[in-house]
Structures are given as C-alpha cells and as structure tokens.
C-alpha cells in the first residue's frame, strides 16, 4: 500500500457543537465543552503525528452576533481551556499563534490568551494557530489598510501575505469542515486558494482520531496540481 502523505498544514472549521448538544437535549454550551476536549485531543494527535501547522476556526467575526450568554460562555471556556492546556503545550513544544481581531475581546480574556501566546512564542514544535474574532475578508481589508498606511504601491502577493494575521505560516494543504456544512464561511480566504477540502457529516464533538485519520487518508490519495 502506498505510504500516507501527511499534510504539512491542516486547517479545521470545528462545526456542529450546537447540533450535537441539541440531539442530546443539552444546552449548546455542553456541546462547546465537549468540543473543547475534541480540540485538545486533535492538537495532541496532530503534534504526535508530526503535523507542522494546525489552524482551527474557534470564533468567527460573525459569532459576536450570537446570544451574549453563549458568547461569554465561549470566551470563558476558550480562555480557561488554553490556560489549563498550557503546561501540555510546553511539554509538546507547541508554538501558539492567535489570528484575528483580539481587540474586540474583553481585556481579561485577551490578556489571558495573549500571555500564553507570548510564553509559547519561542517553541519550535508544531505551530497551533487559533482563529478568534476572525474573518477572512476582514483580514484582507486589514492587510490592504496596513499597506496603504505605509504608502505602498505596486502591491505584490508577498506584500499581502506578510500583512495577513497568518504572516509567516504556510498555506493550509488540507481544510476540514465537520457537521455536514459545505461552506467556507469566511475562513482563510486568501490562504486556501490551493487547499484540498474535506467535508464530513460528523459533528465536531464526535470528531475523534479515527475521523482525523480518515481525512488525512483522503487527502493522501489526491493528486494536487496547483493549476498545472
Ligand atoms: C461551531 O459550532 C463551534 C463554535 C462556534 C465554537 C468552537 C469552539 C470550540 C470547539 C472550543 C475550542 C476551544 C479553543 C480553546 C480553541 P456551532 O455552535 O456553530 O454548532 P451548530 O452549527 O451545530 O450550531
């Protein structure tokens, strides 16, 4: 059998926490709690497999429009989760990078998250990018405004890349979306130009290592031509 080709960078739209909970007559936040466990397990698996970059879509710019109670529960859960998981990320030599408009976060959450990011910034193992208050269009507008403020003309692709939140991170090879939705939802619009997509009906809380391996196997079988 041909050897499995491991993607260098996997990006994931973690979707379906709410429906997972609804199916069990539980509150949506119960789905997010189990989703956090799935996130931690996925980071562990990717790091153990030697994946170099993992990017997850944890909170979109549009998610601010949800019920304020759900938003604050998510903020609390994500910041506590990251703080709790820090020692494990230290052991695994994981570098953390936060992508998005963190200025919209309440100061206590922003400080908690950015201080972990800072402490892990010099690690040399897998890079974990967490998209928070993130939108792909917003990221591009932000990059163009930065270039405009520098008086830049004749803008190149490299100029844009260097001004994205993801500057320095290679483009994702594989983008996974769970929960049976077949949309990009404003995720890594620039970066996913040549990515392979993998969609599964499995809700994010149920996306275990076997499901992750299925996605990698599917990617591994595809031939990427980059338009050639
Ligand atoms: C989408 O499901 C999921 C979210 C908006 C939250 C994702 C967050 C986590 C899994 C926690 C991760 C934690 C860290 C620290 C990164 P949904 O609520 O849109 O589900 P639905 O479409 O079924 O309603």
pLDDT in the model for residue 2: 66
Cβ atoms of 211 and 177 within 8 Å: the answer is no
pLDDT class of 227 with cuts at 50, 70, 90: confident
pLDDT at 4: 85
Per-residue pLDDT, averaged over 193-208, amounts to 98
Whether pTM > 0.95 for this model: the answer is yes
Is residue 98 one of the residues assigned to a domain? yes
Q: Tell me: the pLDDT tens digits for 16-37?
A: 999 999 999 999 999 999 999 9
Residue 208 CA, ligand 1 centroid: distance in Å: 15
Q: Are 129 and 166 in contact (CB under 8 A)?
A: yes
Decide if 109 is inside a domain: yes
Strands laid side by side in the 174-177 sheet: 95-99, 127-134, 53-60, 9-13, 174-177, 196-199
- 21: Cβ below 6 Å to ligand 1? no
* Residue 202 belongs to domain spanning: 9-136+171-219
In a domain, 227, yes or no: no
Task: Answer yes or no: is 90 within a domain.
Answer: yes
Q: Which atom of ligand 1 is nearest to the CA of 38?
A: 10
Secondary structure of the chain: what % helix, strand, coil (to 5)? 50, 15, 35
Mean pLDDT calculated for residue range 47-55? 98
216 lines ligand 1 (CB under 6 A): no
pLDDT tens for each residue of 52-102 = 999 999 999 999 999 999 999 999 999 999 999 999 999 999 999 999 999
14 lines ligand 1 (CB under 6 A): yes
**Residue 92: per-residue pLDDT:** 98
Residue 196 lies in a domain: yes
Residues 27, 18: contact at Cβ < 8 Å? Answer: no
In a domain, 87, yes or no: yes
Q: Is 53 exposed, middle or buried (0-12, 13-18, 19+ CB in 10 A)?
A: buried
Ligand 1 contacts CB of residue 47 (under 6 A): no
Check if 15 is active-site.
yes
Task: Indicate the pLDDT class of residue 228, thresholds 50, 70 and 90.
Answer: confident
Distances (CA, A) of 149 to 13, 96, 152, 154, 189: 32, 28, 8, 14, 23
Residue 129 lies in a domain: yes
Residues 36 and 196: their CA atoms lie apart, in Å, by: 25
Q: Report the CATH number at residue 122.
A: 3.40.1180.10
Q: Which helix (H) or strand (E) holds 97?
A: strand 95-99
Q: Tell me, yes or no, whether 154 lies in a domain.
A: no
Closest ligand 1 atom to 19 CA: 23
SS3 38: helix
Q: Quote the ligand 1 centre to 107 CA distance (angstroms).
A: 21
Q: How far apart are CA 123 and CA 121, in angstroms?
A: 6
Is residue 226 over pLDDT 80?
Answer: no
pLDDT of residue 55: 99
Residue from 44, 63, 159, 186 carrying the catalytic annotation: 63
Please count the structural domains in the chain: 1
- pLDDT tens, 134-169? 999 999 999 999 999 999 999 999 999 999 999 999
Q: What is the mean pLDDT of the chain?
A: 96
């Amino acid at each position: 059998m041909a050897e499995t080709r491991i993607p260098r960078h996997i990006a994931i739209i973690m979707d379906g926490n709410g429906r997972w909970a609804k199916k069990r007559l539980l509150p949506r936040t119960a789905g997010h709690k189990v989703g956090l466990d799935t996130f931690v397990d996925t980071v562990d698996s990717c790091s153990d497999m030697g994946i170099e970059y993992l990017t997850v879509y944890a909170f979109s710019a549009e998610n601010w429009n949800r019920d304020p109670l759900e938003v604050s529960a998510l903020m609390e859960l994500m910041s506590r989760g990251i703080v709790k998981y820090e020692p494990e990320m230290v052991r695994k030599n994981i570098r953390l990078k936060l992508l998005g408009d963190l200025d919209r976060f309440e100061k206590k959450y922003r400080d908690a998250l950015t201080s972990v990011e800072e402490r892990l910034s010099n690690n040399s193992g897998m890079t974990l990018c967490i998209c928070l208050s993130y939108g792909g269009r917003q990221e591009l507008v932000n990059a163009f405004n930065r270039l405009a403020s520098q008086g830049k003309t004749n803008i190149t692709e490299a100029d844009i890349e260097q001004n994205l939140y993801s500057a320095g991170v290679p483009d994702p090879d594989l983008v996974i979306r769970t929960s049976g939705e077949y949309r990009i939802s404003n995720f890594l619009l620039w970066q996913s130009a040549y990515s392979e997509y993998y969609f599964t009906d499995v809700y994010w809380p149920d996306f275990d290592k076997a499901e992750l391996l299925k996605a990698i196997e599917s990617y591994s079988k595809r031939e990427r031509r980059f338009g050639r």
